[in-house]
């Protein structure tokens, strides 16, 4: 049965970093709702401007907008053999929508929670840099670029994300506790969650993820 890998975890837990690695290893597409929304926010339209404002504030974009995005993206051909969700679902409402999509399409959910202590999250987000051109993710401490603030892959000057400033980081962590932590509980009650200690090195976290996915895939 095709798998839908759901990476749960607070802002800065490493969802994007690990989703890219899993995608490369297993060949499934990475669907990052944050990346999709950041792209939409570049458009100079009422919707684009609305999303841009919400992202910079650290709040969640509405369930209605997310429902349109996720339904459209997951029905594309590349999702037939499975896909990786990074940043979705973030509310109970979104989790219920995902349950319905997965059931209708005969997929199976594999939910993995990447747990990291709050202090480490804040430090990671403050030191994160991203490549605006190819999407590569860096960290000035744990994964610095080879050349000062330039992307290793394409040489583009790296940037901070608009929501990686202290106020938005605090807001995102708050919203996570209030809206998204209950989603993990929702899956825990269904005994669907594999827990991973995300406070270790990227390679160690990745090894654990591969083990969990291969175990589920073997069934």
Nearest residue (CB) to Mg ion, 80 versus 118: 118
Task: Select the residue whose beta carbon is closest to Mg ion and give its number.
Answer: 16
- Catalytic status, residue 161: yes
- Catalytic status, residue 172: yes
User: Which residue is catalytic, options 59, 161, 192, 200?
Assistant: 161
Integer Cα distance of 112 and 92 in angstroms: 16
- Catalytic status, residue 90: yes
- Catalytic status, residue 133: no
By CB under 6 A, the residues from 42 to 61 that bind ligand AP5 are 54-55, 58-61
Q: Say whether residue 212 binds ligand AP5 (CB under 6 A).
A: no
Cis link prior to 42 (omega < 30° from 0)?
A: no
DSSP code per residue over 75-133:
TSGGGTTEEEEES---SHHHHHHHHHHHHHTT-EEEEEEEE--HHHHHHHHHTEEE-TT
Integer Cα distance of 82 and 175 in angstroms: 29
Applying CB under 6 A, the residues found at the interface with ligand AP5 are 9, 11-17, 33-34, 37, 54-55, 58-61, 66, 87-88, 90, 94, 124-125, 128, 137-139, 142-143, 163, 172, 201-202, 205
């Amino acid at each position: 049965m095709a798998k839908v890998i759901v990476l749960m975890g607070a802002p800065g837990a490493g969802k994007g970093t690990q989703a890219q690695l899993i995608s490369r290893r297993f060949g499934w597409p990475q669907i990052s709702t944050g990346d999709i929304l950041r792209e939409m926010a570049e458009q100079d339209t009422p919707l684009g401007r609305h999303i841009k404002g919400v992202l910079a504030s650290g709040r969640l974009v509405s369930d209605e907008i997310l429902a349109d995005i996720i339904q459209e993206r997951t029905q594309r051909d590349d999702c037939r053999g499975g896909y990786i969700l990074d940043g979705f679902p973030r509310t109970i409402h979104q989790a219920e929508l995902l349950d319905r999509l997965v059931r209708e399409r005969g997929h199976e959910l594999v939910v993995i929670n990447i747990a990291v202590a709050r202090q480490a999250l804040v430090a990671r987000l403050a030191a994160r840099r991203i490549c605006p051109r190819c999407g590569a993710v860096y960290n000035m401490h744990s994964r610095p670029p080879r050349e000062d603030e330039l992307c290793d892959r394409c040489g583009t000057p790296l940037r901070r994300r608009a929501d990686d400033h202290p106020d938005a980081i605090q807001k995102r962590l708050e919203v996570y506790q209030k809206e998204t932590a209950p989603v993990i509980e929702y899956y825990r009650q269904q005994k669907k969650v594999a827990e991973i200690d995300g406070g270790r090195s990227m390679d160690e976290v990745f090894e654990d993820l591969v083990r969990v996915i291969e175990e589920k895939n073997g069934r």
